[in-house]
Amino acid sequence: MNVNNLPQYQQQVDGSHNVLSFSSADDPAIGHEYEVFLSFSGTDIRKSITDCLYHSLIDAGVRAFRDNEELHVGEEIGPKLMKSIKQSKIGIPIFSVVYASSKWCLMEVAEMVKSMKEREQLIMPLFLDVTPDEVQHQTGSYAKAFSLHEERFGQEKVQAWRDALKEVVKLKGLELDKVANGHQGEFIKLVIAKVISELKKSYLDVGTVLVGIEDRVKELVKKLEVGIDDHVRVVGIWGMGGIGKTTLAKFVYNQIVHNFESCGFLKDIREMPGIIEAFKTYRANWSPKY
């Protein structure tokens, strides 16, 4: 298939142009300043498991954000904190014994649930020294914490926090005692692997966002018929240099990559001595999914 007449979306991002950008639900590779938002409470885990998890995420190339109390404003979540939650691809509430005692954590997890419903944000709950049942039914330390919150903030507001926790527990999370027998180092490795799997780090950086590219991406994805059968399809994108063919190919790649166990993007084939060398390069740089 030839895709011509591309100039209508040649206009690139700069200060003078109107820009068409995809929402996070359209393309999870676009528009996320942070990829992971960590929500936790307690100075003990801030300096231990949470600190190790945060730095392990950074070392793995994941853009992670951890809550900083300086971003709290009065009785509400500060604008920067709110933005970080909304823009993150994955929200990770780290449930500990003292998690529910923090109104900020409850506000954060409620915002995560909202983002999950509105923008398809993923939530990956972690359970340290509490069980999912304790969080869901708000027993033990959670019962005491919610009782104090109701006295201060009223039943209606606190009920929204209770409902948010119940929503999160329904999702597939990881329990420290069950998946790693209490070993924090092993637990962190499992979390990192799951995060990378969910983020699908094989996404390509598309750089600029081009006006009108959305329709072309949908057209090509439809032509590829991914998942309909096992047939191999080849689609050609034709046009003069500089009109966005490679960018279009990257957008399509990002849209369909999650359907495959492994993936690769081979560019600048004309600069390679032959097709055999090109595929050798592909094999050397392919990206297996976790």
Distance CA 268, CA 16 (A): 31
Contact call for residues 100 and 106 (beta carbons, < 8 A)? yes
Distance CA 173, CA 275 (A): 45
Residue 270 vs residues 57, 58, 99, 267: alpha-carbon distances, Å: 37, 36, 56, 9
Residues designated as active site: 108
Q: Annotate 163-209 with DSSP letters as a single string.
A: HHHHHHHTS--EEHHHHHTT-HHHHHHHHHHHHHHHHTTTPPP--S-
- Please list, in sequence order, all residues whose beta carbon lies within 8 angstroms of the beta carbon of residue 34, skipping any fewer than 6 positions away: 63, 64, 65, 84, 87, 88
Q: What secondary structure letter does DSSP report for 227?
A: T
Bridge partners, residue 39, by sequence: 93
Residue type for position 239: G
Contact call for residues 77 and 51 (beta carbons, < 8 A)? no
Distance CA 152, CA 258 (A): 45
- Nearest residue to 188 via CA among 289, 89, 54: 54
In the chain, how long is the greatest CA-to-CA distance? 74
- Nearest residue to 105 via CA among 89, 90, 85, 83: 85
